[in-house]
Amino acid sequence: MPSPYRAIFAHPGTIAFSTAGFLGRMPLSMMGVGIVVMVSQLTGRYGMAGALSATLALSAAVLGPQVSRLVDRHGQRRVLRPALLASGAAVAGLLISARQDAPDWVFFVFTACAGCIPSVGAMTRARWAAIHHGMPERLHTAYAFESIVDELCFIVGPIVSIGLSTIWFPEAGPLIAGVFLVIGVLWLTAQRATEPPVHPREEHTRGSALRSPGLQVLVVTFVAMGAIFGSVDVVTVAFADEQGSKAASSLVLAVYALGSCLAGAVFGLLRLKGEPSRRWVLGVCAMTVSMIPLQLAGNLVTLAVSLFVAGLAIAPTMVTTMALVEAHVPRTKLTEGMSWTGTGLAVGVALGLSASGWMVDEHGAGAAYAVPAVAGVLAVVVAFLGYRRLRRPVPTREGQHDGHSHDQQHGERVA
């Protein structure tokens, strides 16, 4: 392991909580696609399957930051275990409903309740932030490592979920996703030594972390970025189907995630100078430009190469985003702030799924790659309009650091 990564794991307990975080994050990539496969196999109703998957994404988008907000106030162990019980019971109810051929409304109720699945990625990043507080170079590497873990989940998770549901039994994918969630969250919350300390009640500022102007820019931009991811997934499956090899779509999408994974690994080793806000805008622009070759792909091989190149811009942009969240959100609201970016992505994914599905039906897969391109343009517009907010000094108050000075510090010391 390269020395910067070896350094971040020198602290006791880091290997254990990062492993638990990997297991707890697997449902993020398994549950939605698992529900689609399960429902479509049991009922043959793809429309309902897609609606349930969108319901899960939107529910997680609404409930996730609220769970994280409670975590900031009361600690991970006290909040995540009750949230796990609620989401686990909802997933169990969904699986039983599917097996018993329950009415449609029952499916939607359980799916909506399952959305209180804890944002495990935000929890592990908060632990890194607490351990390496004041050491921006190590924190930069830690966030890069987290992006690698995210991409590994999206490489492995869908393959496992789809494979289990098609080879074993329809409910197998969501079931194993639930098992991963239980093991990951229980193991993570059992590790008290690395759990971020709960700040005294008087240090907590009123209102949501989303009141931060800088965080608002990041979240709105992430809605557009989520639309890129959601639409690329749908259109790639449709494109592979038109090419007569629908099963190959999972491999092509894995190449997309692989590009991001490798870029994240390299980015974690770099010590670039300059303002993170400027680097973030450049990353958003690079993601948008990378959508252009997709319009020209004539076969799966060309598409795979184009997606690999497109993936190279993802992880560096995500890593820089986490640094900006830390700069613009009070430490007492850090977990909630990180969860809001996930909310933006989830909303965007749902919008991208819907828009790209319509485009495929109306104009075919080749033309539908215009959807992620348009979403990218919107992301660039928001990023440029909000750039000054990301550079603007954040008023120092209790529990809050100065975002401008923090931005300068990162610009001088880390990528």
Q: CA torsion sign, 156 to 161 to 163 to 167?
A: positive
Measured CA to CA, the distance from residue 325 to residue 317 in angstroms comes to 12
Measured CA to CA, the distance from residue 57 to residue 51 in angstroms comes to 10
Confidence of residue 412 (pLDDT cuts 50, 70, 90): very low
Average pLDDT of the residues in 85-102: 88
- From 249, 350, 375, select the one nearest 307 (Cα to Cα): 249
Q: Is the pLDDT of residue 413 over 60?
A: no
Instruction: Report the run of H or E that residue 121 belongs to, with start and end.
Output: helix 120-131
DSSP string covering 61-83, please?
HHHHHHHHHHHHHH-HHHHHHHH
Q: What is the pLDDT of residues 222-241, one digit of tens each?
A: 899 888 987 887 788 778 87
Kindly list the structural domains of the chain, giving each domain's residue range(s) and its CATH number in brackets, ordered by start. Answer: 1-189 (1.20.1250.20), 208-415 (1.20.1250.20)
What is the reported pLDDT for 278? 87
Q: What is the pLDDT of residues 251-306, one digit of tens each?
A: 888 888 888 888 888 887 777 677 888 888 999 999 999 999 988 888 889 999 99
- From 139, 3, 128, 127, select the one nearest 414 (Cα to Cα): 139
Measured CA to CA, the distance from residue 175 to residue 98 in angstroms comes to 12
- From 93, 124, 122, 108, select the one nearest 58 (Cα to Cα): 108
Average pLDDT of the residues in 200-205: 52
What is the reported pLDDT for 415? 31
Higher pLDDT, 413 or 210: 210
Q: What is the pLDDT of residues 358-398, one digit of tens each?
A: 787 778 888 888 989 999 999 999 999 988 887 764 544 33
Average pLDDT, the chain: 80
Q: 59 exposed, middle or buried (CB, 10 Å; 0-12, 13-18, 19+)?
A: buried
Average pLDDT of the residues in 3-13: 82
Average pLDDT of the residues in 185-206: 76
Give the Å distances, CA to CA, from 43 to 31, 48, 164. 18, 9, 18
What is the reported pLDDT for 309? 92
Phi and psi at residue 272, to the nearest 5° = -85, 150
Please give the structure tokens belonging to residue 337.
Answer: 């702030």
Measured CA to CA, the distance from residue 212 to residue 69 in angstroms comes to 14
- From 40, 65, 333, select the one nearest 203 (Cα to Cα): 333
393: left (phi over 0), alpha (psi -120 to 50) or beta: beta
Share of the chain above pLDDT 90, in %: 16
Q: Provide the whole-model pTM.
A: 0.73
